[in-house]
Amino acid sequence: MKIRPHQSPQRGSALVSTLVVFVGISGLLIASTTMSSVEVKQARRSLDELQASAVTEAGVEMSKLRFQRAADQSASLDPLAGIAAMFDADGRCELFAGEPLLDNGISVGSFSSTAYLLDRTNRQIDVRIDTTGYLPDTPDNLAPGERVEAWEAHSVTMRFSLDGSDVFDYAYFINNWGWLYGNSIYCNGNARSNGQFDAGGYKPTITGQTIYDGLEWNGAKANLIGYQDDNGDGLMDGNDGGIFSGWDIVRSDRVRGNGGNEENQHDFEASVPMPNLSNLTMYEDMAAAQNSSISIGGTTIVQGVLGDDPGEKQHLYLVGTNSNPIVIDGPVVVRGDVVISGVVEGQGVIYSGGNTYVPDSITYKRAPNHERPINNHQANVEAWITSNQNRDFLGLFSAENVVVGDFTDPTWRSYVSSWMSSSMNQSAEDAGEDGIPNTRAGRDGILGTADDDVLEGDGVFSVEYYTAADAAAGTIPPGFSIGDVIPGSGEDIDGDGRYDSTTTLADLDFQSPLNTANFAGNMPSGGISNYSSVSSMYANNLDATFYTNHSFCYMVLGAQPAKINGAMIARNENIIYGTPSIEINYDCRLLGALDGLLGDMMPRVLAPAEVLQWRREYEDPHSVNYESHAVTYQSGGDGNGNSGNGNSNGNSGNGNSGGNGNGNG
């Protein structure tokens, strides 16, 4: 029998060690594989949560657009009323239910969104928008057995508010091409046009005026807040303001004053929209709320609104004298034409649904101590406002045209008509996407390139129309129907919902004969058969702030300077002066917009929507009973690795006008 050699103990130890190492490596491999799988799942979940968040944010933005469209559709009445109309009696509005979010036609998720009305005043409306985004779809849309892979909910509180229009920051504002052709033109304030601004190589003086965000009061002292350093020099020295344009500024190298400085000339700026006066409902409510009035000699002529009662006269004729001035208190609405001249006392605005005629000069009985502050330094402007806060102020705001002087005079008609028909000053509502004529070739001036305004001059009134979807959402204002033009959309520049061709002298004619049957006020008992008997070619003093969605028409002659003490704001202007000079002296009491001294009677526009709060929710505000789909799901967690329960009961806590021209006639 053969005897085997004795086995070495070292070899057995090595085998055991190898086995241990193998087991250890295997364990590491298994652990690594398990960890990789977990990491892949976590990564996938993170991607799903990120996508769900994106879907939710898209839903919020779509909801905000719904409210914005509702406001735009009712802008001719009251933007806030359009938003409020979306809510039911319980203050709830279902905006979207399982709305798919598409990317090139492929669904990347869906969202549901519900809004709640939180608060409303005459200046603002607050809403809360609850939105949930789901992957791959909302539970109600899933097949039995399918699960929601991820979801996220956001609650956003929004404020939609009315603000004063920025057009009142300017002494001279044109919602078209602006012109200051003359060496003896003095614009003591800012000049702005939404189209090109042209000084024609002349030497007008534009002093500029610093713009402020608001006005506060320290007792009886005015404090302007929010100094706008628009020349970018870092100084608050009052040397801001000047020329502003939505297009280019041309032939302005000889302009005097701050407006002649390169740093005070601002071209290609965003367009400043004009308030819409085609429907005066909002201002009639304002007049009634403020118990506004016009009186002469102690007799009340207008109480709030003229023309709203059955059988009431639609038009107003006013002539004031030193002994019997026109006394105005607050904003007043006249549904028809207004004729006004003479002496005015008090503070107020007349909103006219037709033309406003100024046959002769308008003079304040208690005018400001000086037409302007001694300079534009803030302290001096505040002192001027403080000193003149109770002095007379008149605003003449017309839905149609403002006509100054004797428009029946052949000379007046010849000069004004020539500007109306000028090819440089087109007024027909075929001005294209930007609402400004003569911009078809775009900023580069070359036709056939990407920046062309292809809608301009195409012979089509390009506007939007109310749809069945708008009707279903309840956003069509009273008096409108499916298929009607949305006022103010597209090329409807003046916001009246109708196409307007080029303005002519015929647009300046009276709607009704000048007699006591048609006009309230102090019209002569026998009426007026000849307008020239009450009007003048020498209406050289205009103490008023003028606003029109159409054209400001004015020709003046004489040896005295012509003055507008307030502001001139229009889509187009036809100013021809044969006086030694013409001055526009900006009334600094207009500063501060809706919070300014006169803000409670001024036209209003919808301010940009404001987000008051945006927070993530950890319970789904749109959850329902999902048992039919056997679905359970969780929220994406709170950022600390903790997930939330997805079950919740969902309880809610510009106008058509004539040409622009200034010249020494």
DSSP 432: T
Integer CA distances (angstroms), 366 to 171, 295, 359, 390, 562, in order? 21, 16, 21, 9, 20
Neighbours of 143 (CB within 10 A): 7
Model confidence, pTM: 0.84
CA distance 604 to 162: 6
- Residue 39: what pLDDT? 53
pLDDT averaged over every residue in the chain: 88
291 neighbors 268 (Cβ within 8 angstroms): no
HSE on the CB side for 495, CA within 13 Å? 25
330 has which bridge partners? 348
CA distance 629 to 300: 72
Residue 325 phi, psi (nearest 5): -75, 160
* Residue located via tokens 């609650």: 155
Under the banding of pLDDT at 50, 70 and 90, the label for residue 633 is very low
- Our measurement of the distance from residue 181's CA atom to the centroid of its chain's CA atoms, rounded to an integer in Å, reads 30
Counting DSSP H helices and E strands in the chain, the numbers are 6, 32
Quick one: tokens of 459?
């012979």
| pLDDT at residue 37 is higher than 80 | no
CA distance 294 to 318: 10
Neighbours of 464 (CB within 10 A): 16
Neighbours of 283 (CB within 10 A): 25
Under the banding of pLDDT at 50, 70 and 90, the label for residue 659 is very low
- Residue 432: what pLDDT? 94
CA distance 425 to 573: 9
CA distance 122 to 104: 42
Integer CA distances (angstroms), 420 to 262, 458, 506, 559, in order? 31, 21, 11, 26
CA distance 162 to 212: 18
Under the banding of pLDDT at 50, 70 and 90, the label for residue 17 is very low
| pLDDT at residue 346 is higher than 80 | yes
- Residue 665: what pLDDT? 33
Task: Select the more confidently predicted residue: 35 or 628.
Answer: 35
As a whole number of Å, the end-to-end CA separation of the chain is: 144
Sign of torsion over alpha carbons 255, 551, 419, 411: negative
Least confident of 59-63, 103-107, 178-182: 103-107
| pLDDT at residue 15 is higher than 60 | no
